[in-house]
Structure 1
Amino acid sequence: MLLLKCQLASDMGCLRTNNEDMILFNGGLYRDERYEQKFELAPQARFTAFVADGMGGHEGGEFASELATQAFDRFITDLPSGLSHETLSCEIKNWVDETHALIVNKGLELPQYEGMGTTFIGMFSYEGRVYMMNIGDSRLYRYRSGILKQLSADHSMRELTGDESAPSNMIYNSLGAGTSAFADFIELTGQLLDEDLFLLCSDGLSDMLTDDQIEELLQYTPTAVHLIEAAKAAGGRDNISVVLLQVTEQTDEAEVV
């Protein structure tokens, strides 16, 4: 049985006065918190690990990231058993459309939230399979045998156009902002190896540290807290949220989900 060890942490950073990020992990929502858990992933269990980076002013970003994480938690809990990959993909698309509309409509109802939106990056399991899902420019990395690889694609204008002068935080895809949203939805099941380490993060980490710096930190101090402290030492210009998931086939004292 697969054993996952999770560490998560979310921090306001050095310059912001509030935290617009939100972490969803196995039904719990985390902001300005630290948490650790290890658990055995039973074949029919469902786990969730997501980072949402909200945008839209002092209150809007907080609200958008909370709406998205709450909505996905309800979605994965209520999802029927026995769906094929194709049907699950359709359900994910419907969830993206509905959640995008939810956030847009909340912004129209409440003027202080108009224009709010959020990124959404993470991993989840369903029927013994593991998937990744990405909306925006928050990132999923895999650290394997000393090498860090970005698995997600940034939905940013810099990535789209190849223009390195474009602001790194100018994105063309998010939940709530723009006319529509889409998700990259990819199965990872066959790609999981013993001792793989997966990193989910908001751009408060990836804008402050290069991939080489993150790789070095994971080699010597692979903890969520050390990553956040390094980003803050580099300037900490934005909120910083990190989830680390380590895969191992060895089981010890752990919760079963």
Structure 2
Amino acid sequence: MRAFGNTDIGCTRKVNEDDYCILQNENGDWLAAVCDGIGGSAAGEVASHLAVSKLREAFLKAPVFKKDSQVNDWIHDTLNKANDAIYLESMRNRKERGMGTTCVGMIYANNATYIFNVGDSRLYAYYSDGLIQMSEDHSVIAKLIKEGKIKPEEAKSHAQRNTLTNALGVWRVFRIDTNKIDSNYRYILICSDGLHGYVSYEEIQAIIDSSAYNLTDKVNALISRANQSGGYDNCTVILMENERYQDGSND
């Protein structure tokens, strides 16, 4: 597995409330995650940093994962601890009251890929037939589209386009989506809505698919494209390249 990540404040924000991590532990397992803070000012920045810190700290001490249930339990336990840490910190500081963060990521262990999500940051997998969104947005917009109340093309101009229905640190009870996915992907893309909210699916896929860019160039090109589209939000991108990928398009 090869990986590169980067984050950018964008063109209009005063604080970068995104945070991310990419690491491999002593067991040889990989963790990659993106967190996009909410709450305004420094509060969102605090929440995303706390979540990433909890993930990093727990993963470096993680046991050898031998069963799917072990990974699932680890994800739920770690994100619950992150949720509690953010919530308690917000109670201690009035200026941080109501802060929270999205959290999306993947674990690669024992030749298997596990993904998790809270909020509207996204994880995509690039298989032989193209780029596929693997996470489900926890947002008012996603709910309205799913219920058929608005069309996808209406989402970008909708008044509630940035309203989340789920996040870490805001509520005692929250939702964690977990899944085990097919590991025969070429790339895993993990990003905040600073990318997918402003750069089209077609543009994202074209940059990832480009043979003119190496892994680092692809990540930086995606962030540059978000800034060219206005840079209205912080933008964080992680790209994981699967060196074991085998093109099965002719199977």
**TM-score normalized by the length of structure 1:** 0.82
* Structure 2 counterpart of 1:38: none
Distance 1:200 1:232 in 2: 18
Q: Deviations over 1:52-99 (max 9, x none)?
A: 101112110111011000101122222333553224323322322222
Name the stretch that deviates more: 130-139 or 174-183. Answer: 174-183
SS at the partner of 2:42?
helix
How far did 1:146 drift?
A: 6.2
After superposition, the Cα gap between the structure-2 partners of 1:83 and 1:51, relative to the gap in structure 1 and judged at 3 Å, is same
Match of 2:180 among 187, 190, 203: 187
Counterparts of residues 90-239 of structure 1 (less than 5 Å) = 90-145=73-128, 147-162=130-145, 163=150, 164=155, 165=158, 167-188=160-181, 191-193=182-184, 196-220=186-210, 223-239=218-234
Contact 2:111/2:183 (8 A) holds in 1: no
Evaluate the alpha carbon distance shift between residue 91 and residue 26 of structure 1 in structure 2; reply closer, same or farther with a 3 A threshold.
Answer: closer
CA distance in 1, matches of 2:56, 2:175: 18
Q: Provide, for residues 139-190 of structure 1, a one-character-per-residue CA deviation record: whole Å limited to 9, x for no partner.
A: 11122336221111101111112244352221111101234222111112xx
**Residue 128 of structure 1: CA displacement?**
4.1
Unaligned runs of 5+ in 1: 28-40, 251-257
Task: Identify which of 11, 16, 20 aligns with 1:19.
Answer: 16
Structure number with the higher strand fraction is: 1
SS of match in other structure, 2:7:
strand
TM-score (norm 2): 0.84
Asked if 2 retains the 8 angstrom alpha-carbon contact of 1:147 and 1:215, the reply is yes
Paired residue secondary structure (1:176) = coil
Aligned length: 230
What CA distance in whole angstroms lies between the structure 2 residues aligned with 1:130 and 1:210? 26
1:26 maps to amino acid = L
Q: Which amino acid aligns with 1:154?
A: D
Residue 68 of structure 2 corresponds to 85
Q: Once the two structures are superposed, what CA deviation does each residue of 1:5-58 show, in whole Å capped at 9, x if it has no partner?
A: 21211000010011010011117xxxxxxxxxxxxx99x412111111011121
Q: What's the CA shift for 1:211?
A: 0.8
Kindly provide the amino acid, as one letter, of the partner of residue 232 in structure 1.
Answer: N
Aligned to 1:198, the other structure's residue is in SS state strand
Identity %: 29
Residues 80/175 of structure 1: CA separation in 2 closer, same or farther (3 Å cut): same
Unpaired stretches in structure 2, ≥5 consecutive residues: 246-251
Change beyond 3 A, Cα 1:98–1:244 = same
Mapped contact 1:100–1:180 kept (Cα < 8 A): no
> Partner of 2:240: helix, strand, or coil?
strand
| Matched residue SS, 1:57 | coil
1:191-212 alpha-carbon deviations (Å, 9 max, x no partner):
1226x11111000001111111
Supply the distance in 1 between the matched residues of 2:209 and 2:72 (Cα, whole angstroms).
35
Which residue number in structure 1 is paired with residue 249 of structure 2? none
Query: Aligned to 2:123, what secondary structure does the other structure show?
Result: strand
